[in-house]
Structure 1
Amino acid sequence: MMADPVDELLAGLPLVDHHCHGVVTADLDRTAFESLLTEGEAWPDSGISLFDTPVGAAVRRHCAPVLGLPRHAPAGDYLARRAELGAREVNRRFLAAAGAAVLCVDTGFDSGRLTSPAELAEPAGAAAYEVVRLESVAEAVAAGGVAAGEYGAAVRAAAEDAVRRPGVVAVKSVAAYRTGFALDPARPSAAEVARAAAAWLARPGARLADPVLVRHLLWTAVELGLPLQLHTGFGDADLRLHHADPLLLTDWLRLTAGTVPVMLLHCWPYQRQAAYLAAVFEQVYLDVGLALHHVGPARAGAVLAEALEITPFRKLLYSSDAYGLAEFHHLGAVAFRRGLAKLLADRVAADELSRADAERIARWTGRDNALRVYGLTDPAASRGSGGLTDSGGPAATAAPAAPVPPMEND
């Protein structure tokens, strides 16, 4: 039986992962490993293993062979082999197997425990770029000491400094976690920002969760001029999922039309809502990263099919949103390649797409759409140029063997 050309194209396509995180660098015991398999909490005394989930089964099926194990290897065998190889070799194998040529890395959460962009990209053979998390910028300004009346300007200046760092290609907000999207869409006045800042700064160490200050960050992102990544949908246990529906951004998107690209991350279970926004607002793009490795390759095509029901083909991007475990870089890529290949092959077989159309959509989604919207060099033309090729990202330290809290890592 001849291989499908679209499947072959996707299998060999150097991907642009437009949103991901670093990986831990220390060996992990079972509790620590399972804590990173979930967006919630590990339950070590419950009798419920996180290997007995769709993502756990997908790891045993698709990641075990990369470690030299048979498909569906038992969890104990999998973890023993991982320990035998050591974290450095495990990370090298999975990052190389993912086949990403470009990694855009969110450095705003847990950067001390994870690899820097350059450290992530080196074993992958990829170019690394940085995504600046705006809440982290604002919280650093607050921690450094600032008067309430100067807060707005100080955050703007700090954000401008952050995006001038070499290799920065985007900014990101986790407004979905902090307040949800049911916000007044209007730009807050300087007086509103100062009043809200005074209340927040009076509580040293509190995370930024004031609606006015979150709005201020969103409008600061517009002023910075880079693509803005927004977490939407599926995430950690401190998220109120119904507040992360991207449709709640509709009025803000109307006000910001013609400014910066807005990249809706993850989206599940709101991929259809995100598709609507991408269909009607020029500046909106989306991915279904994170969801793909959690549903596994068996269901990735179904999620992608819903995202592509009405999304313009130049608006869907690939991301893994891999965090902590190098397995997720590989598993996200496998799920994306296989899911999209099957979806496109089915449409070609039904004569809904030509094969040439299917091949264009595959290239656009896996690589070219991200290159275009972020203004990146085609890795096929100049592999590795323009990214962070040294220690330009935040310094990384060894990750602890204890469970890593999964709060806001998306």
Structure 2
Amino acid sequence: MPMDLTAVIGGIALVDHHVHGALRETVGRPEFEGMLTESDRPVPPWMTQMDSQLGFALRRHCAPLLGLEPSASAGDYWAARSARDPEELARLFLRASGTGHWLVETGYKGDMLLGPAGMAAAGGAEAREIVRLESLLEEVAPGATAAGLRDAFRAALRARCAEPGVAGLKSVVAYRHGFGFDPAPPSHAEVAGAAGRWLRRIAAGAAPRVTAPALLRMALWEAVETGLPLQLHAGYGDPDIELHRCDPLLLTGWLRAVEPTGTAVLLLHCYPYHRGAGYLAQAFPHVYFDAGLAINHTGARSAAVVAETLELAPFAKILYSSDAWGPPELHYLGALLWRRGMTRALTAWVEEGEWTAADAARVATMIGRDNAARVYGLDPAG
């Protein structure tokens, strides 16, 4: 009997290796629609964010879980959604995703979202934490001196890494500066000088937002020294970034410098630079990547993006993530669209005689679960 790839891929207990929590509170429709875009600006009053690839995918695939017909109207979708509380919505969509393990990044507006324990309970799965470097540095800074900031951050980072349930680290240097930074570790003088300027601004009442290249580099190199997997946002994101400075190819020198440490570097999302990320994953043994965020936002075109991730990198270097944040529909939709994209690409290659069905099933399982289990030291059963 021929292997049913749809069933095989649909049955993988996914490891979502980069995700944020689902909403823990009720939001209004304007706030909900604002969570369907990477823009941090209000949705203009003359349009709806439901009229987007993500909005159409949400109406098509999430509506049936709310008892509606596929592609129900935006108004009907909102009414059905509003009849359920956040706890019910989280259970419904998280469990329908078929995810076996969530690696939850907690560094962005975590007070609005379920933490790892909440995700595990709502999703009926396991969950571990990914610690954001810049958030930790900003927590440490107000109590530190310029000369002592590096040591204070190192101590705080090592303490967090030693906590049970912490699986890895993440940096948003792409947002704070971009990837065109000096790849070498910063000197003590560089760090102390940048720290002094930053701490003086904080003392004068500025928000403790770290943007100095020397401090961002310091945080990256301290993370590398822990040996934990290190995630880096790359490519597409909100307007706080300058997209041309987030091309992961700009990291080549730094990746080369990190290589002797053996620390795994995981490039997140990468769109529209996912093909370049595939090259880096092929070129460097410690580099991995995913298409994360782009899969939900490209909706009906997401199968093409998933297929493009399979072009160049060894299959042991590609991971699955949803990068869902907020509405639990995004956690479900990311999994559904990734499964659909993989099924379409691999089925076509099997039917063309390029791949065997057994190889297709094995590769899908590697990318959906086993690669992340290996990199993060998880139970491979999910």
Q: Measure how far apart 1:355 and its partner are.
A: 1.3
Q: Deviations over 1:22-48 (max 9, x none)?
A: 111222221111011111045454311
Which amino acid is the alignment partner of residue 265 of structure 1?
L
1:18-29 matches, within 5 Å, as 18-29=17-28
Structure 2 equivalent of residue 110 of structure 1: 109
* Gap change, CA 1:254 and 1:331, over 3 Å in 2: same
Return the alpha-carbon distance in structure 2 between the equivalents of residues 139 and 43 of structure 1.
27
Alignment of 1:176-195 (within 5 A): 176-195=174-193
% same residue: 50
2:96 equivalent in structure 1 = 97
User: What's the secondary structure of 1:290's corresponding residue?
Assistant: helix
Alignment partners' CA distance in 1, 2:173 and 2:49: 28
Q: How does 1:54-65 map to 2 (within 5 A)?
A: 54-65=53-64
User: What do residues 125-181 of structure 1 show as CA deviations (whole Å, max 9, x unaligned)?
Assistant: 1101000000011000112x2110011111111111111111001000000000000
Q: Do residues 152 (structure 1) and 137 (structure 2) align?
A: no
Does the CA contact (< 8 Å) of 2:374 and 2:380 recur in 1? no
Corresponding position of 1:264: 267
Query: What residue number does 2:308 align with?
Result: 306
Which amino acid is 1:340 matched to?
M
Distance 1:316 1:47 in 2: 40
2:327 aligned partner: 325
Match of 1:282 among 285, 301, 318: 285
Aligned to 1:12: 11
* 2:370 counterpart residue number: 368
Does 2:343 correspond to 1:341? yes
Per-residue deviation at 1:314?
0.3
Q: Secondary structure at the match of 2:148?
A: helix
Alignment of 1:359 with 2:361, yes or no, is yes
- Where does residue 408 of structure 1 map in the other structure? none
| Partner in structure 1 of residue 172 of structure 2 | 174
CA gap 1:270/1:60 in 2 versus in 1, 3 angstroms = same
Residue-pair matches, total: 377
1:295 aligned onto 2:298: yes
Q: Deviations over 1:1-42 (max 9, x none)?
A: x98622110111110000100111222221111011111045
Shift of 1:370: 0.3
Q: Specify the SS of the correspondent of 2:259.
A: coil
Q: Partners of 1:44 and 1:348 in 2: how far apart?
A: 43
More helix by share: 2
Structure 2: distance between partners of 1:206 and 1:370: 33
Letter in 1 for 2:220: L
SS across alignment from 1:324: coil
Does residue 236 in structure 1 map to residue 235 in structure 2? no
Question: What TM-score, normalized by structure 1, do the two folds share?
Answer: 0.90
Counterpart of 1:228, as a letter, is L
* Structure 1 pair 307–195 and aligned structure 2 pair: CA distance change class (3 A): same
Q: SS at 2:369's partner residue?
A: helix
Letter in 1 for 2:285: E
Asked whether the equivalents of residues 141 and 208 of structure 2 are also in contact (C-alpha less than 8 Å), the reply is no
Distance 2:41 2:334 in 1: 21
Equivalents in 2 of 1:29, 1:123: separation in Å? 22
- Aligned: 1:199 with 2:182: no
Query: Does the Cα contact within 8 Å between 1:101 and 1:126 map onto a contact in 2?
Result: yes
Q: Which runs of 5+ in 1 are unaligned?
A: 381-410
Segments of 5+ residues of structure 2 without an aligned counterpart are: none
Once residues 249 and 73 of structure 1 are traced to their aligned partners in structure 2, the CA distance between those partners, rounded to angstroms, is 44
**Helix, strand or coil at the partner of 1:369:** helix
- Greater displacement, 71-80 / 35-44: 35-44
Q: CA deviation at 1:292?
A: 0.5
- Confirm or deny: 8 A CA contact 1:135 1:173 kept in the other structure: yes
- Are residues 109 and 193 of structure 1, via their aligned partners in 2, closer, same or farther at CA, if it must alter by over 3 Å? same
| Higher RCO, Cα 8 Å, sep 6+ | 1
The CA deviation at 1:290 is: 0.9
d(CA) in 2 for partners of 1:355, 1:167? 36
Equivalent position of 1:88 in the other structure: 87
**Tell me, what secondary structure is at the counterpart of 1:169?**
strand
Q: Distance between the aligned counterparts of 2:128 and 2:165, measured in 1? A: 5
Equivalent position SS for 2:223: helix
Distance (whole Å) between structure 2 residues aligned to residue 158 and residue 56 of structure 1: 41
